[in-house]
Amino acid sequence: MRIGFIGAGKMALALARGFAEKMKPNAILASSPASDEVFLKEFRSHGFDTYHSNEFVARNVDTVILATKPSILPTIFKELHDTIQPNQLLISIAAGIPIKMIQESLSMGDTLKVIRVMPNTPSLVNEGVSIYSLNHQCDLKDQKIIEEMFSCVGSIYKIDETLIDAATGISGCGPGYMYLVIEAMGDAGVKQGLPRDLAYKLAAQTMIGSGKMVLQTGQHPAVLKDSVCSAGGSTIAGISALEK
């Protein structure tokens, strides 16, 4: 299988690096304008082939990944209008662009296999979470392909497309919320005399460990919270303050 990225930004590179763990680097192509040469150079440093022609990349791969900003997609659709074929798999990681719009923009109707995926930024360190929906033209083989690909950069979950925006509010925006919590916990540690770098490390690792506890135990967060709240202890005092 050959994969082609239309767009060569940070997320595209993170995905390409993850995919390369299970496939040869020369099976991964990327295209972007000459003005994005700095990004293409980074792609080439990992052994991936790069081009300035979106049409060329789309013509020479089995799976096309739209990895550009949503505002650029109308131009991309015009370029690829006569290039994308029904036997190819089209994956979009562009936020807010529904599958139906992609099908209509390429004038291929129900003949095009489309999968909409929303990865998040922790994919850059292979700790991301991606959510995806596929249209009726995709089969179990396509589902297996997408799950194998994106599991290289974290976890992936299939959901109905009507829920993607809601899920994005958690997984897509969530890292920003978590950084705010880490910063707040770190600042509190600094106020109590801890070195700032140590305070942030303690806060970040605590968040990682707590997340793993939820995932691996399967227990409700409230149960886990209660398990660390001793009567009259410091944890319950802190939670009481947070709940005010």
Q: What CATH number does the domain containing 239 carry?
A: 1.10.3730.10
**Residue 121 annotated as lining a ligand binding site:** no
**Residue 118 annotated as lining a ligand binding site:** no
**Residue 108 annotated as lining a ligand binding site:** no
**Residue 6 annotated as lining a ligand binding site:** yes
Whether residue 133 is found in the same domain as residue 82: yes
Whether residue 230 is found in the same domain as residue 193: yes
Contact (CB, 8 A) for 35 and 52: no
pLDDT, residue 107, reads 87
Within-domain flag for 149? yes
pLDDT, residue 244, reads 86
pLDDT, residue 109, reads 74
pLDDT, residue 191, reads 97
**Residue 213 annotated as lining a ligand binding site:** no
Contact (CB, 8 A) for 7 and 67: yes
**Residue 67 annotated as lining a ligand binding site:** yes
Whether residue 53 is found in the same domain as residue 131: yes
DSSP per residue, 152-185 = GGEEEEE--GGGHHHHIIIIITHHHHHHHHHHHH
Whether residue 154 is found in the same domain as residue 203: no
Decide which of 97, 124, 158 is a domain's last residue.
Answer: 158
Whether residue 128 is found in the same domain as residue 60: yes
Q: Which token pair is 133?
A: 């929906």
Whether residue 101 is found in the same domain as residue 183: no
Contacts of 90 (CB under 8 A, 6+ apart): 63, 64, 66, 84, 102, 106, 112, 113, 114, 115
Q: Which residues of the chain have pLDDT under 50?
A: none
CATH of the domain at 73: 3.40.50.720
How many separate domains does the chain show? 2
Q: Which residue segment(s) compose the domain that 90 sits in?
A: 3-158
Task: Check: pTM over 0.85? Answer yes or no.
Answer: yes
**Residue 149 annotated as lining a ligand binding site:** no
Within-domain flag for 91? yes
pLDDT, residue 21, reads 87
**Residue 68 annotated as lining a ligand binding site:** yes
Q: What is the pLDDT of residues 157-198, one digit of tens each?
A: 999 999 999 999 999 999 999 999 999 999 999 999 999 999
**Residue 193 annotated as lining a ligand binding site:** no
